[in-house]
Amino acid sequence: MSKNKELISKIGLRLDGRRANELRRIRCKLGVFTEPDGSAYIEQGLTKVLAAVYGPHEVRGGRSKAQHNSAIINCQFSMAVFSTTERKKRPRGDRKSTELSMHLQQALEAAIKSELYPFCQIDVYVEVLHADGGIYPACVNAATLALIDAGIPLKEYVCACTASLANNDIPMLDISHQEEVLGGPTLTVAALPMSGKIVLMEMSQRFHLDHLDKVLEKALQGCKDIKEILDNAVRLHVTDIGSSTGWANTKH
Amino acid sequence: MALCDAEKTFVLHGVQDNFRIDGRELDDYRPMELETDVVSHAFGSARLRLANTDVLVAVKIELDVPFPESPQNGKIEFFVDCSANATPEFEGRGGEDLAIAISNTLTTAYSSSLAFDSRKLCLLNGKKCWKLYVDILILECGGNLFDAVSIAVKAALWNTRIPFVKNVNIDGNNIDLDVSDDLCLCERLDIENAPVMVTVCKIGDKCIVDPNAAEEHCSMGSVVVAVSGTKISTIYQTGTGSLHPATLTESLQLGFRVAIRLNEALSKVLSRIRPDEEAGFLK
């Protein structure tokens, strides 16, 4: 556990200068592409993700897969071969990408009002351009923005965040790649932050059950903070689009 | 993209009157945006947006051993990834055929030593060389992928900084490279003659360049011309249609003329790029 001690210095700063409960800088943009029905780009620290949403449209590859009471949510996770320091061999199709695709689908299915689109399919594609820790949370957040851009009804925002435990007692938020490598457990949580429900929880490595509560609480707080940031971006985007179509002049 | 017969006729008539659906003439390009240095951890990168075609290229460098048949040459490898973000058809392995077509065309276009001199990538004859991985990510498909990819690749290679090797120690079979730590001390590639590709599309009995998605759909066949300097380095015919030899010559000439102009414009733009300009998807 000697390694873990270095995660937070004596004066309470992390390796990249953040405090324990600080997120990395999030910058995002909706509507980056014209071809998809919805698209978004998000930067969380150095992690950069593009998401595109197509649909709702008719089910591809035969109607036999179609469901009479809800839409099919189809997710594909893919990582650019240059996204990691060591060049990757394949952009998708390996175990890790398949697992992340499934987790993404699980998180989004909880938020999308899929019962409104029977016999339909919604495609969500995410592409990681730069991986620097917290890939899954960035993908969930980007997918949420893209779904909002596509105008697909959601129950509420779905946000994800990671948290870890430093020095065996201080929970810390939004783990970077450097901190992931140095060790310590990583708890990934995808949540519906307004109702406070958890839709996906994943943990790597072990820590004492006594610590779980405070780390989980930290992660949920992170999800709520991210929701505020995303909500701001959405409002700005809608104002931008609205004012360019002249909604400010409707009174006259 | 699906077009009905009436729409196809509309595109065709426009081409016949030298007034295409977006108001361009036959040999006009759509507006382009080029950024370099967009991928911070790559040795060189570029992003090109040609109307709504979006291509991201990153260059990574690794040490390798030269091929035994060409001990004096370095290596360059092109990898194209058609992201499903571009179109749902690319999901899974759907984009693989197109990706292979593009990367093979690039490989042949760059294989001549007159187009790209890979001898400069060789560090020690037959023992050590640099290998350039040119990774191309297609993010949006609005027609004319070959041209967009070739320009982005050229810009990314222009942007590439090769680490400077201070000295090479040979101890028996052990080769030790002393690579300079100074990031400013690096070598640039000579991309003066790196090929630029132009797709010439035949619609009706006229030839056009830079087809958009609708025009590509109406095309009876197209030829990709890769021009390096003032010479044609590769010709690749795509699509299912057939071309008359006279039309082929005509389209080659059109492609050649346009490629020369495109290359000049590209050099001009590259010389104007400032290192501290903000680039990326947030703009």
Mean pLDDT of B17-36: 92
Percent of chain B at pLDDT exceeding 70: 100
Q: How many Å from the N-terminal Cα to the C-terminal Cα in chain B? A: 28
Give alpha helix (H) positions in B135-244: 145-159, 213-218
Pairing verdict, β B128-140 and B75-82 = parallel
Beta bridge partners of A71: none
The predicted structure's pLDDT at residue A2? 47
Best-predicted range by mean pLDDT (A102-116, A160-174, B168-182): A102-116
Residue B84, CB-side half-sphere exposure with 13 Å CA sphere: 25
Mean pLDDT of A155-176: 91
Mean pLDDT of B62-88: 93
The band of A101, judged by pLDDT with boundaries at 50, 70 and 90, is very high
Specify if A64 maps to a domain. Answer: yes
Specify if A158 maps to a domain. Answer: yes
Specify if A252 maps to a domain. Answer: no
Contact between A127 and B91 using a beta-carbon 8 Å cutoff? no
Contact between A130 and B40 using a beta-carbon 8 Å cutoff? yes
Specify if A251 maps to a domain. Answer: no
The band of B96, judged by pLDDT with boundaries at 50, 70 and 90, is very high
Distances in Å between the Cα of A15 and the Cα atoms of A7, A137, B107 are 6, 20, 43
* Chain B residue with the nearest C-alpha to that of A129: B39
Mean pLDDT of A19-44: 94
Do the beta carbons of residue A194 and residue A231 sit within 8 Å? no
Picking from B197, B198, B214, the residue whose alpha carbon sits closest to that of residue B15 is: B214
| Alpha-carbon gap, residue A20 to A13, rounded angstroms | 7
Length of chain B counted residue by residue? 283
Could you tell me which residue, A127 or B187, shows the higher pLDDT? A127
Q: Suggest the residue from A28, A30, A34, A35 to mutate for an interface test with chain B (most B CBs closer than 10 A).
A: A35
Query: Residue A56, preceding bond cis, omega within 30 degrees?
Result: yes
Which SS3 state, helix, strand or coil, does residue B169 take? strand
The predicted structure's pLDDT at residue A160? 96
Specify if A59 maps to a domain. Answer: yes
Could you tell me which residue, A86 or B174, shows the higher pLDDT? A86
The band of A209, judged by pLDDT with boundaries at 50, 70 and 90, is confident
Q: Tell me how close the Cα of A86 comes to any Cα of chain B, in angstroms.
A: 9
The predicted structure's pLDDT at residue B280? 80
Specify if A234 maps to a domain. Answer: yes
Specify if A93 maps to a domain. Answer: yes
Give alpha helix (H) positions in chain A: 95-111, 135-150, 177-182, 209-244
In CATH, the architecture of B5-272 is: 2-Layer Sandwich (3.30)
Could you tell me which residue, B174 or B53, shows the higher pLDDT? B53
Contact between B39 and A51 using a beta-carbon 8 Å cutoff? no
What is the DSSP code string of A22-87?
A: PPPPEEEEE---SSSSEEEEEEETTEEEEEEEEEEEEPSS-GGG--SSSPEEEEEEEE-TTSSSSP
In sequence order, the 6+-apart residues with CB closer than 8 A to the CB of A225 are: A23, A161
Q: Where are the domains of chain B?
A: 5-272
**Kind and range of the H or E run holding A6:** none
CB-based burial label for B5 (10 Å; 0-12, 13-18, 19+)? exposed
| Alpha-carbon gap, residue A227 to A233, rounded angstroms | 10
Mean pLDDT of A61-68: 81
Domain count across chain A: 1
pLDDT in tens, B246-259: 999 999 999 999 99
Which SS3 state, helix, strand or coil, does residue A2 take? coil
Please state the separation of Cα A124 from the chain's center in Å: 12
The band of A93, judged by pLDDT with boundaries at 50, 70 and 90, is confident
Q: Which residues of B touch A127 (CB under 8 A)?
A: 83-85, 137, 139
Do the beta carbons of residue B252 and residue B202 sit within 8 Å? no
Could you tell me which residue, B186 or B129, shows the higher pLDDT? B129
Q: Which two tokens stand for residue B168?
A: 């090479």
> Is it the case that residue B49 has pLDDT exceeding 70?
yes
Distances in Å between the Cα of B81 and the Cα atoms of A105, A127, B232, B235, B257 are 23, 11, 26, 22, 30
In sequence order, the 6+-apart residues with CB closer than 8 A to the CB of B19 are: B25
Chains A and B form CB pairs within 8 A to the count of 88
The band of A251, judged by pLDDT with boundaries at 50, 70 and 90, is low
In sequence order, the 6+-apart residues with CB closer than 8 A to the CB of B268 are: none
> Is it the case that residue B169 has pLDDT exceeding 50?
yes
Could you tell me which residue, A124 or B179, shows the higher pLDDT? A124
> Is it the case that residue A96 has pLDDT exceeding 80?
yes
The predicted structure's pLDDT at residue B182? 75
Distances in Å between the Cα of A3 and the Cα atoms of A76, A85, A115, A206, B260 are 35, 23, 48, 15, 59
Q: Can you give the CATH number for the domain in which A197 is found? A: 3.30.230.70
Q: Which residues of A touch B42 (CB under 8 A)?
A: 82
Q: Which residues of B touch A123 (CB under 8 A)?
A: 84, 88, 91
Q: Tell me how close the Cα of A237 comes to any Cα of chain B, in angstroms.
A: 12
Do the beta carbons of residue B176 and residue B199 sit within 8 Å? no
Would you tell me the crossing angle of helices B145-159 and B96-111 to the nearest 10 degrees?
Answer: 50
pLDDT in tens, B202-231: 998 899 999 999 999 898 889 999 999 899
Q: Suggest the residue from B38, B78, B83, B135 to mutate for an interface test with chain A (most A CBs closer than 10 A).
A: B83
Cβ atoms within 10 Å of A53's Cβ, excluding its own: 26
pLDDT in tens, B119-141: 989 988 888 899 999 999 999 99
ipTM of this complex: 0.90
Dihedral (CA of B185, B186, B190, B195) sign: negative
A47 shares contact with chain B (CB less than 8 Å): no
> Is it the case that residue B84 has pLDDT exceeding 50?
yes
Do the beta carbons of residue A149 and residue A31 sit within 8 Å? yes
Residues of B with CB under 8 A from a CB of A: 39-42, 45, 52, 54, 56, 58, 60, 62, 79, 81, 83-88, 91-93, 133, 135, 137, 139-142, 281-282
The band of A250, judged by pLDDT with boundaries at 50, 70 and 90, is low
**What is the DSSP-derived secondary structure letter of residue A204?**
E
What's the mean per-residue pLDDT of chain B? 91
Percent of chain B at pLDDT exceeding 90: 65
Q: Which domain holds residue A152?
A: 3-245
